[in-house]
Amino acid sequence: MTATDRSIELINAAAQAAADKLAHDIIAYDVSDVLSITDAFLLASAPNDRQVKSIVDEIEERLNKDLGAKPVRREGDREARWVLLDYVDVVVHVQHSEERVFYALERLWKDCPQLELPADAQATRGKAEEYAQAQGPDGGAGGELS
């Protein structure tokens, strides 16, 4: 079994919306062969809580406006460290970069096929690492402490 056309349409729209709001490391997996409850997962991250919220809001608005899809469940809004949008056919995870590293969902789903995403979403791969390096070890902009 593979992800349905509708699932792929939702994933692509969500990935593009996330990319438009500057999400990092957007990736999608076809989990239909290992889970019976959903077809696909989309993972995206951002370096701060405000951006996580912005990405989630954009995904929800875009999927509703363009595809008439509303999530049946939205979790994690209060802390905005890991927000989950459940569209039944697809589940979108938008995580703070620290949670993304800690929970490493990619390791859990690495045996599942990756879904092809729009070019803008693919271009976000490696952005979290670039951002972290630009911030330096002190968390500020620019390099190491002397």
Give the CATH number of the domain where residue 117 resides. Answer: 3.30.460.10
Q: Using pLDDT thresholds of 50, 70 and 90, give the confidence band for residue 144.
A: very low
Please report whether residue 136 resides in a domain: no
What is the domain extent for residue 27?
5-130
What pLDDT was estimated at residue 71? 97
In a domain, 144, yes or no: no
Render pLDDT for 37-80 as a digit per residue (tens, 0 to 9): 999 999 999 999 999 999 999 999 999 999 999 999 999 988 88
Query: pLDDT tens across 78-106, in order?
Result: 888 999 999 999 999 999 999 999 999 99
Number of separate domains in the chain: 1
pLDDT value for 116 = 96
Give domain status of residue 78, yes or no: yes
pLDDT at 134: 67
Stretch 1-8: mean pLDDT: 89
Nearest CA to 71 out of 52, 90, 58 is that of 90
33 neighbors 17 (Cβ within 8 angstroms): no
What is residue 122's three-state secondary structure? helix
Note whether residue 140 is domain-resident: no
CA distance 140 to 54: 22
Token pair 């569209």 in the structure block, residue: 87
Task: Using a pLDDT cut of 90, give the percent of the chain over it.
Answer: 79
Residue 11 CA neighbour count, 13 Å, CB half: 27
